[in-house]
Chains A and B, each alone.
Chain A
Amino acid sequence: MADLVADISEAEQRTIQAQKAASQNQRPSASLEESSNFSGAASLGYEAIVAATSIRYYEDDLPPPPANPMLDLPLPPPPPEPLSQEEEAAQAKADKIKLALEKLKEAKVKKLVVKVHMNDNSTKSLMVDERQLARDVLDNLFEKTHCDYHVDWCLYEIYPELQIERLFEDHENVVEVLSDWTRDTENKLLFLEKEEKYAVFKNPQNFYLDNKGKKEGKETNEKMNAKNKESLLEESFCGTSVIVPELEGALYLKEDGKKSWKRRYFLLRASGIYYVPKGKSKTSRDLACFIQFENVNVYYGIQCKMKYKAPTDYCFVLKHPQIQKESQYIKYLCCDDARTLNQWITGVRIAKYGKTLYDNYQRAVSRAGLASRWTNLGTVNPATPAQLSTGFKPGTSQPNGQIPQAAHSVSAVLAEVKRQVEPPKNNVPALGNQDLKAPRAYHLPKSSQPPPPPIRRSSDTSCSPVLPSKPKSTAGVFPAPPDDFLPPPPPPPLEEVDLPLPPPPPPPDFHEAPPDFVPPPPLATAGVMGSLLPPPPPPPTLAPESRQLPHTVARKLPVPPKRQENPGPPSGGESGEQDFMSDLMKALQKKRGNMS
């Protein structure tokens, strides 16, 4: 089901993208309204896609002539034709089916215009349709606000009347949640950064290895190294079933309909929250069920001390999402300190959502990683819009052949991202065998690419007070997981350029990979290939381009480049790495060797 949803939203994004791309051709200043006439555009969507594909096709098609002189040197790339025919057919068919489905769905899609409060007290309105998950909405907001793509950004709902609030999980359907609000509600939707969102994945030891109440454990916990964190996460989230942190302790429970609080001993289990009845032990058989998570959400309680005479202000609240007014069916629990509160709330989230939470996190990390790559490649982006906006006059950008190259590297990122987004079904299997033959040829353009960006970026940042609308549109063109390279079989270079990846990383590591790539990686390859490089050294060839398109260059760069140090799980756990176990084993073997 999740897959389906993802598919749909992907497809949808593509449509938006295509639309934007298309409308840019006609009226460059296309803005948000598009998404609102989206509903009517169902049929238009198809044309838009066609338009977009043809655009891409053009831009893809252009490269060969200029590129050849340079690329041909090592090995002429094997022509992709034989493979692509069946593939094309299959792709076209799949696309048609997708479109048909899309149209069917489109007919009765519910949409809401939502006012989102930013952390600078401004608001933004945006259209959210029924199929969008919180993740999609966040992506939209990223585009609109040019904030960094940090994983901590979240949608946040506040119930002023109940004084409770909570963050949306990335996989939650936004419209569904919002439609539970009453018509005259004071509830608000916020867009802000919350460290708590993925705290458990950044420092799992604080949740999984917490020595109950022992302070000395705290310092050692903080020190836990990346490798151990990763193995702890793996152990907790990647097994047959998710491990819910062991959590128990005395909490205060607000008694139904009264303002008195009773202290009870509560335990968290995967199946719900339990308490120890009076005079009983805390063995499983004696526990009484307090609440199960199926129909409730967990909220932070705000200022419960004032409102409900709670013993402390560290409260959490469990209620059915549809309940909007005070009611005896809302459960209030109160912890002794903030740390405990966070452990409980996170624990409940893990018990309720399980592995989905981890998947969300990994997606968020890869998104953040992607964003940082965008910053790096931002210099190159304008090539495409520039080309688009100038129409298809052949030759405008041809003279030195740089622009097509730019297109290459952009799509390379896209392709790479795509792989990250859906690692298992390594997109076009048919192209696989080409990967083996072709990469040499295509490292070249790429390796010649990276060096320039820093230069230009520095110049960019200096003139960064930018026209707001343009960057937006650039971002709009390549916002999200580039779903697909679209029907006409992309010329092989597109798929392959992205191969400066380290030796084939095993799928599980893929998600963590992004941070690694942030610094332009192919230096090494460049070194190896150096001898093969044709006389014209890269920087000079690129320079003309930047001169040629100075204004566009200045305009792109929507995202501040600081993304580089993003806090994703350090990719130290690459498969090849020796971890503790093997260390241990080595030690053992050594020892054995000595003994015998």
Chain B
Amino acid sequence: MAGMKTASGDYIDSSWELRVFVGEEDPEAESVTLRVTGESHIGGVLLKIVEEIKRKQDWSDHAIWWEQKKRWLLQTHWTLDKYGILADARLFFGPQHQPVILRLPNRRALRLRASFSQPLFQAVAAICRLLSIRHPEELSLLRAPEKKEKKKKEKEPEEEVYDLSKVVLAGGVAPALFRGMPAHFSDSEQTEACYNMLSRPQPPPDPLLLQRLPRSGSMLDKTQLHSRWLDSSRCLMQQGVKAGDMLWLRFKYYSFFDLDPKTDAVRLTQLYEQARWDLLLEEIDCTEEEMMVFAALQYHINKLSKSGEVGEPVGRDSGLDDLDAALSNLEVKLEGSAPTDVLDSLTTIPELKDHLRIFRPRKLTLKGYRQHWVVFKETTLSYYKSQDEAPGDPIQQLNLKGCEVVPDVNVSGQKFCIKLLVPSPEGMSEIYLRCQDEQQYAHWMAGCRLASKGRTMADSSYASEVQAILAFLSLQRVGSAGSGNHSQGTDASTEGLNPYGLVAPRFQRKLKAKQLTPRILEAHQNVAQLSLSEAQLRFIQAWQSLPDFGISYFLVRFKGSRKDEILGIANNRLIRFDLAAGDVVKTWRFSNMRQWNVNWDIRQVAIEFDEHINVAFSCMSASCRIVHEYIGGYIFLSTRERARGEELDEDLFLQLTGGHEAF
């Protein structure tokens, strides 16, 4: 034991005094002084510290942090000599897990305890296990952007921070499911709410907020984000993160392995949220048509996730629920008036018959809409001069199978038209049906849509289709808020069901709400039958299909070139862009790559491809470590297919992405 003394009080062994601060890394902190020798083991030192503190507490999570060397002394069997610790070392005795606030992909904040002593890769894996996100290797943490001091002090509304810092996971086993959620979420109402936040899509953002949020206009802006990634092979403490700091959790590598709606509720939802924000904030560009599909999917997902909460305390959803109730009432009434005997509906295919006004655009005709008696049976639409002539031959008969149905609606103008483009051997015949009101419109529209897919109104989806159309019309009524003379309209508007919340801001400028809504409605008809997870998956797939999907941008300077250029890293290739024009200059695929090296001194990445193609560049917008880690990470992810079902090979990951410590 260290600290042997003579009677006079002189130490006769080679022991010396070691001062250890307890708790936070601050000079005022409480400290204890121990007598140790170079041979003392860390474990023994820890024991002594705890004895010295004389406080009853669970110290199991505590360890010693060596400030100057920025490292944890975690090997309890190592001696002080082995670590090279001398009396002047500044040591802190503190917890290895500390709370941080995570900004999730869905932009919600969540407080939880993260490991400050393990490599970030492991820390993220632990976080993901807590959140029940599989494949944690695809995610990582970023530093939150520094808040710019705003000139005008905007009152940021106090945001809700979910708290999971109390939840402790049993190690090892995969969390069991309990009441449809991993067991550790079902402990209390707070954690349950937290799980709902994680696994259910968030409502669309306020369009005004959307306009205010910073967007990256150019490729250069897009490089900013990637300078903030933390290093996977070092721990949070080493990277200067403090307890209580805000960090962003994001999917870093755009290669999503084995996405399974059944087991991946949280992962799917968070991925959807990240995709959605990418689109809304114009991190990734898409065409107008694509944006309409994205908007329709968001609308649909939002509707489904809301309706899933029926059992929950209603609270702020009451507006929409009332609306739904009113609609279903209406529906019941309508059903009542139609001949819907139960037996009948089983055996006969329902048909629609009514007076509609029809318009057929032709060259050199100025005739407008004309009243006709229209019969819609199975997938065929026939119209007659009048009801009396109905048994005879119709003026025209159109089979709507395969036709294109385009809504032409203006709620405030009370215009409810259906434009049909009906294919025939001779080409397309165009015909407009004009309905009197929303109800009539919704029923005929739903019939036309089903018929275009070759289904009849006997199809089980007919009623829900009618519902969807009515709901969408009410949305439009809100969208054109000017004519808010309908009672439900104002309620719903507070719901943020503004079509502008579904599209990127540039479409807000380009299209008026009343132009936008019918287009979203049109796109919606193709997705209206999807379930929540299907719709999310479809959204993710459509996002993945965008040509610019999954490219992380870096500002680089190639060896031998004098101008800055952009390097894009995707899951299978590197792309060199011209900074000014944004054109692709050259693409290199990882599959042709032989090796890559990083010269840490001059911060240059050198890559060798097949056929002796060599590329070298230094990274201007971020540390070259981040570029290196991106490349290594993608290579690592591409090995997963073969290692399916195996444990995550962390060593391999760190080997591929870390490495600079070795030098």
Contact = CB atoms under 8 A, between A and B. Distances in A.
Contacts of B404: 295
A246 B547 contact: yes
Given A234-B641, A292-B289, A592-B662, A182 B425 contact: yes
A320 interface: yes
Interface stretch (B193-201, B387-395, B491-499, B591-599): B591-599
Interface string A301-338: 00000000000000000001111111111100000000
B652 A240 contact: no
A340 B269 CA distance: 40
Contacts of A271: 287, 289-290, 293, 542, 545
Contacts of A580: 591
A584 interface: yes
A584 B635 contact: yes
B591 A591 contact: no
A428 interface: no
A467 B663 CA distance: 78
B615 interface: no
B428 A329 contact: yes
A90 interface: no
B541 A285 contact: no
B427 interface: yes
Contact of A284 (B286, B526, B545): B286
B642 interface: yes
A289 to B, nearest CB: 5
A274 interface: yes
Interface in B232-276: 255-256, 259
Contacts of A595: 662-663
Residue among B423, B542, B544, B652 having the largest count of chain A Cβ atoms under 10 Å: B423
Nearest to A595: B662
Interface in B329-384: none
B582 interface: yes
A289 B428 contact: no
SS class, residues of chain A in contact with chain B = loop
B506 A285 contact: yes
B39 interface: no
Interface residues of B, number: 49
Nearest to A588: B595
Nearest to B589: A209
A242 B546 CA distance: 11
Residue among A239, A240, A585, A589 having the largest count of chain B Cβ atoms under 10 Å: A240
Nearest to A582: B639
B216 interface: no
B424 A587 contact: no
A51 interface: no
Given A239-B544, A284-B287, A322-B423, A588 B656 contact: yes
B506 A592 contact: no
A552 B653 CA distance: 62
Interface string B94-135: 000000000000000000000000000000000000000000
A268 to B, nearest CB: 9
Contact of A581 (B285, B548, B638): B638
Interface in A259-303: 269-272, 274, 283-285, 287, 289, 292, 294-295
B402 interface: yes
B547 A241 contact: no
A596 B662 contact: yes
B437 interface: no
A513 interface: no
Interface string A244-269: 10100000000000000000000001
A588 B595 CA distance: 7
Contacts of B506: 285
Q: How large is the interface on A (under 10, 10 to 19, 20 to 34, 35 or more residues)?
A: 35 or more
A231 interface: yes
Residue among A246, A585, A589 having the largest count of chain B Cβ atoms under 10 Å: A585
Contacts of B548: 284
B288 interface: yes
B582 A283 contact: yes
B425 A323 contact: yes
Contacts of A321: 402, 423
A328 B426 CA distance: 10
Interface in B619-640: 635, 638-639
A322 B423 CA distance: 6
B120 to A, nearest CB: 21
A7 interface: no
Contact of A320 (B428, B526, B546, B644): B428
A270 B541 CA distance: 10
Contacts of B402: 295, 320-322
Contacts of A244: 545
B417 interface: no
A232 to B, nearest CB: 7
Contacts of B425: 180, 182, 322-325
Contacts of A589: 655
A330 to B, nearest CB: 8
B293 A241 contact: no
Interface in A551-568: none
A581 B289 contact: no
Nearest to B284: A284
A195 interface: no
Contacts of A582: 639
A585 B544 contact: no
Contacts of B594: 584, 587
A285 B509 CA distance: 13
Contacts of A186: none
A228 interface: yes
A257 to B, nearest CB: 11
Contacts of A289: 287-289
A239 B257 CA distance: 8
Contacts of A209: 589
Contact of B428 (A327, A581, A592): A327
Contacts of B545: 241-244, 269-271
Contacts of B526: 294
A228 B546 contact: no
Contacts of A239: 255, 544
Interface in B567-618: 572, 582, 589, 591, 593-595, 611
Contacts of A295: 402, 404, 423
Contact of A220 (B293, B542, B611, B652): B611
B540 interface: yes
A575 B638 CA distance: 14
B662 A285 contact: no
B655 A327 contact: no
B659 interface: yes
Nearest to A235: B572
A166 to B, nearest CB: 17
Given A244-B545, A587-B595, A285 B285 contact: yes
A246 B548 CA distance: 11
Contacts of B611: 220
Nearest to B611: A220
A322 B404 CA distance: 12
A240 B424 CA distance: 36
Contacts of B655: 588-589, 592
A585 B595 contact: no
Contacts of B593: 584
17 contacts: A240-B541, A241-B541, A269-B290, A269-B545, A269-B547, A270-B545, A270-B546, A284-B285, A285-B506, A289-B288, A292-B289, A295-B423, A322-B425, A323-B427, A328-B427, A584-B594, A585-B635
Interface of A: 180, 182, 209, 220, 228, 231-232, 234-235, 239-244, 246, 269-272, 274, 283-285, 287, 289, 292, 294-295, 320-330, 506, 575, 580-582, 584-585, 587-589, 591-592, 595-596
Closest 4 CB pairs of A and B: A327-B427, A270-B545, A324-B425, A284-B285
Given A269-B547, A584-B595, 9 more contacts: A241-B540, A269-B546, A271-B290, A294-B526, A320-B428, A325-B426, A327-B427, A584-B594, A585-B639
